[in-house]
């Protein structure tokens, strides 16, 4: 039978081990967070520079107070998301988000979607910093597939851009239902921090190429085509909410099903209902 003295000694040893682990982990967490914050700031700056170069002037949209900072107690305050939204020109939304997860993981997100009356795909971008590792996601989402010469020529340029990551791992999400609308030259890859500048330059090229396509997109005069584009986006988002995906699953956990729908549709994709 264990004596009280033994139990106290055992508990003290466990406590010492926990304290030691915390002390060892703190420098790693602080370094990883600082590195991630630097990465996010660099991508924010890159985005601003590309927008300025392409003549994109943002009109800020006020995000509902309940969504301005997403940091619920149910996640033990370990996940914090700060979204911002703007509209301009041919876009229904230009949404960005700065996220911190578990104190050391950082993520920058940018999503652009077309306004009613224009035909071009959604651009969805995420970059994640996890210590020395980086995850890069650039998705071109075309739910309606309404053909146009300016889209076709842009897709050819994006195919060439994807060739630049041919030697890196291909890590697409397990979302078979989305394969038909996620263009094959989308990028899902990862590398260590040595590729950070390369990833950022590639992001600049994709974003610039995308915005040049948008410049060439005329206002649709065919109401049926316009309706097809918007219905395609709504169907994609509804299916995303129904079947799930990496980001929307997190939103559901943090916000609950109803607020998840409101946030995903209104803030992320700019769908007005």
Q: Assign residue 187 the CATH number of its domain.
A: 3.40.1500.20
Judge whether residue 21 has pLDDT over 60: no
For residue 32, what pLDDT band results from cuts at 50, 70 and 90? low
- Is residue 6 assigned to a domain? no
- Is residue 140 assigned to a domain? yes
- Is residue 20 assigned to a domain? no
- Is residue 100 assigned to a domain? yes
Residue range 167-198, pLDDT digits in tens: 999 999 999 999 999 999 999 999 999 999 99
Q: Poorest-confidence range of 38-47, 72-81, 124-133, 140-149?
A: 72-81
Does the pTM of the predicted model rise above 0.95? no
Residue-level pLDDT at 16 = 56
- Is residue 75 assigned to a domain? yes
**Bridge partners, 139 (sequence order):** 124
Q: How many domains does the chain have?
A: 1
- Is residue 12 assigned to a domain? no
Residue-level pLDDT at 3 = 54
When the pLDDT of each residue in the chain is averaged and rounded to a whole number, the result is 90
**Cα(162)–Cα(186) distance, integer angstroms:** 7
For residue 77, what pLDDT band results from cuts at 50, 70 and 90? confident
**Cα(79)–Cα(97) distance, integer angstroms:** 13
- Is residue 2 assigned to a domain? no
The residue behind tokens 């219905």 is 231
Residue 78: domain span? 28-268
Percent of the chain surpassing pLDDT 70: 88
- Is residue 143 assigned to a domain? yes
Closest CA relative to residue 269, chosen from 230, 225, 242: 230
Judge whether residue 28 has pLDDT over 70: no
Determine contact, residues 252/79, Cβ cutoff 8 Å: no
């Amino acid at each position: 039978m264990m004596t009280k003295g033994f139990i106290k000694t055992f508990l003290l040893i466990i406590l010492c081990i926990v304290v030691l682990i915390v002390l060892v982990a703190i420098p790693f967490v602080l370094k990883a967070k600082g590195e991630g914050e630097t990465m996010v700031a660099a991508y924010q700056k890159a985005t601003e520079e590309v927008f300025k170069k392409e003549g994109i002037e943002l009109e800020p949209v006020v995000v509902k107070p309940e969504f301005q900072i997403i940091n619920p107690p149910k996640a033990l305050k370990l996940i914090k998301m700060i979204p911002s939204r703007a509209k301009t020109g041919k876009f229904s939304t230009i949404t960005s988000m700065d996220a911190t997860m578990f104190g050391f993981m950082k993520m920058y997100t940018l999503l652009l979607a077309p306004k009613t009356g224009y035909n071009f795909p959604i651009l969805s971008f995420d970059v994640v910093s996890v210590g020395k590792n980086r995850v890069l996601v650039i998705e071109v989402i075309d739910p309606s597939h309404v053909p146009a010469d300016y889209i076709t020529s842009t897709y050819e340029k994006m195919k060439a851009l994807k060739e630049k990551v041919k030697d890196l791992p291909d890590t697409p999400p397990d979302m078979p239902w989305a394969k038909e609308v996620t263009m094959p030259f989308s990028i899902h890859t990862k590398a260590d921090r040595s590729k950070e500048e390369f990833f950022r330059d590639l992001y600049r090229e994709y974003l610039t190429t995308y915005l040049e396509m948008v410049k060439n997109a005329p206002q649709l005069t065919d109401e049926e085509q316009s309706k097809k584009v918007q219905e395609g986006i709504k169907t994609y988002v509804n299916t995303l909410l129904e079947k799930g995906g990496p980001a929307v699953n997190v939103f559901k956990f943090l916000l609950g099903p109803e607020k998840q729908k409101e946030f995903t549709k209104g803030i992320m994709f700019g769908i007005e209902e």
